[in-house]
Amino acid sequence: MGVLEKIAEIESEMARTQKNKATSAHLGLLKARLAKLRRELIEPKGGGGGKAGEGFDVAKTGDARIGFVGFPSVGKSTLLSNLAGVYSEVAAYEFTTLTTVPGVIKYKGAKVQLLDLPGIIEGAKDGKGRGKQVIAVARTCSLIFIVLDVLKPLGHKKLIEHELEGFGIRLNKEPPNIHFRRKDKGGINFQPAVVQSELDSDLVKQILAEYKIHNADILVRYDATADDLIDVIEGNRVYIPCIFLLNKIDQISIEELDIIYKIPHCVPISAHHKWNFDDLLEKMWEYLDLVRIYTKPKGQLPDYEAPVVLDHRHSAIEDFCNKLHKSLIKEFKYALVWGSSVKHQPQKVGKEHVLHDEDVVQIVKRV
């Protein structure tokens, strides 16, 4: 029996099983088996057979990367060409875009790479269509735009979320606050810091046994699910912010538009008429959460034209130096910082200091 058949069998068994306290252990075990089988699909056993997806290995340029994901013919290519002036073949039939088309926009001083990923269909995570290679590129993005047709949004939204989840992409979620450490002996030590509604010692042991882990420390700091524990054990999950773009709003009424505006993480747009692009770009900036740092050479005014753009998770002085030049940190003595990250203007800081958006930095080198 192939991997796909096994996955289908487990999924149908999970659909048939009633969810209650008595079956939670059995469901947890099935979820763990499913996660392992899906990993085999993503990273097949054996040497790298087959050619890499043509047109999919796009060089990462700029300060952030945004992937446009959506069903065929929802307006991804139109949106990309109107946003970035890139021409991606557009037609009114499904599966027009067959390779990844990159474009770049400049916004608030940051260069953002936009990727029009070919249409994802049901079963992409099982290797159907070109979906597998598409989602591999989606995993490297800083932000995902899921483009939906406003006339059939919810069904498509659920399907695409399910596809991305199956590939280990978690949308608009934080990594689980679970400490997991393997050890050589001592059995399974499960320590919940708060009362658990789903996980208990037996279920944790069963899930770990599925991975042939019999000695480990698990500390859970919140009310976690079996899925959260499996994500931590698998260790290959990526947590990416996501914005749902409801396209073709020229086809609905104002009343319907008011309802759509209340959905979290959603921006209604019309790619064809270029409606609501400012709102989209503003939301994009908020979700990317980039930090712009201006350089100040000694005795000169700061350069406000070309900021150094950093990811908010890596925005220390050391990251700033590495972005400018790899050898700079070796000659680093201290930095002078002006801005909201320091109390005094300027303030002398070391390489561990975390910078805020629009700080001004002057690096002082060792003589």
Residue 101: name the closest of 112, 92, 89 by CA: 89
Does a cis peptide bond (omega within 30 degrees of 0) precede residue 102? no
Q: Tell me the two tokens of residue 131.
A: 């979906």
- Mean pLDDT over residues 287-313, rounded? 91
- Mean pLDDT over residues 257-271, rounded? 86
Per the prediction, the chain carries an average pLDDT of 83
Which pLDDT tens digit goes with each residue over 117-160?
A: 765 555 555 555 555 666 677 788 999 999 888 887 778 888 88
Residue, of 317 and 263, whose pLDDT is higher: 317
How would you label 45-69 residue by residue, b for 16+ Cβ within 10 Å and e otherwise?
Answer: eeeeeeeebebbebeeebbbbbbbb
Find the angle CA(356)-CA(103)-CA(67) to the nearest 5 degrees. Answer: 70
- Mean pLDDT over residues 239-267, rounded? 88
pLDDT beyond 50 at 15:
yes
Query: Using the 8-state DSSP alphabet, how is residue 190 labeled?
Result: E
Q: 58-72, 144-158, 247-261, 289-303: which has the highest mean pLDDT?
A: 289-303
Q: What is the pTM of this model?
A: 0.80
Q: Which residue has the tokens 């021409």?
A: 87
Amino acid sitting at position 28: G
Amino acid sitting at position 52: A
Q: pLDDT category, 57, cuts 50, 70, 90? A: low
Q: 98-107, 153-162, 206-215: which has the highest mean pLDDT?
A: 206-215
pLDDT beyond 80 at 197:
yes
- Mean pLDDT over residues 274-300, rounded? 91
Bridge partner residues of 246 (DSSP): 148, 268
- Mean pLDDT over residues 206-229, rounded? 91
Of 33-37, 117-121, 306-310, the least confident: 117-121
Q: What is the pLDDT of residue 117?
A: 73
Q: Which residue has the tokens 């910082």?
A: 337
pLDDT beyond 90 at 9:
no
Kindly state the percentage of the chain with pLDDT values over 70.
Answer: 85
Q: Which helix (H) or strand (E) holds 319?
A: helix 317-324
Q: Tell me the two tokens of residue 119.
A: 């249409």
Q: Which residue has the tokens 């599925």?
A: 210
Residue 3's φ and ψ, nearest 5 degrees, are -60, -40
Amino acid sitting at position 287: Y
